[in-house]
Amino acid sequence: MPATIEKKVYTYRDYEKLPEGAPYQLIKGELVMSPSPTPYHQRLSKRIGYILYRFAEKENKLGEVFYAPIDIYLEDTEVYQPDIIFISKENLKIIGEKRIEGAPDLVVEVISPSSAYYDLRYKFDMYARHGVKEYWIVYPDEATIELYENQEGKFIMVEKKTKDEILYSRLLKGLSIPLKEIFEEVEND
C-alpha cells in the first residue's frame, strides 16, 4: 500500500511567525510566496495609490488608503496582501494593531505572472464572498483596468477601461481617473 503524505494546512498562527516582510500570502491554508514586483508594476501601483490617497483620504476624508505589504485577514487560512486597499470611515474599526481584520471596501490588484492565478480566481471569489465592495484588476501589459462591483456576494464587471479612457469608481463617488495618468510613459514621471 502506498504511503500517504499528509499535507499541512497553515493558519494565521503559523503565518504570523514568519519574519516581518516575508513575501508570503496565506491562500487556502498554503503559504504562497511571491517574488518582488517589477519596477513597472510598482510604478502603476504608486500612481493608483497616490490618486486614491489624494482623493479619498486627503481631499475628501472618506477613509484610509493602504499599500502592500499589509495583511488582510479574512479567515484563519486566508490572509492576503493586495497591492492597494481603501477602507471607508464607516469601516475603520477593521484596522487592527497587526493586520486588517476583515474586508476592505476597495481592493486593487496589479496583475503579475506570479499572482494572476490567485488574483483572478481564488482571491477574486474570496474578496466577493467576504464583502469587498469594489475590486479593480490592473493589467499592466494591456494597459487596462477592470472594475468589479459586489452584488450579493459576487463580483460583476461594470467597467473595462483602456489607457485612453476614464475610469469611474462607483464606491468613491466623484472619483474619475484618466488612465493615461496611470499608464503614461516613464519619462513623464
Strands 100-101 and 78-80: unpaired
Predicted confidence at residue 7, as pLDDT, reads: 59
Domain map (residue ranges) of the chain: 35-188
Per-10-residue mean pLDDT, the chain, length 189:
58 89 88 88 96 97 96 95 97 96 97 81 93 97 96 96 96 96 70
**How many Å is the Cα radius of gyration of the chain?**
17
CA distance 110 to 82: 8
Give the three-class secondary structure for 18: coil
Runs of H (alpha helix) within 57-186 = 116-117, 123-130, 180-183
> Cα 65 to chain center, whole Å?
11
Predicted confidence at residue 114, as pLDDT, reads: 75
Q: What is the CATH number of domain 35-188?
A: 3.90.1570.10
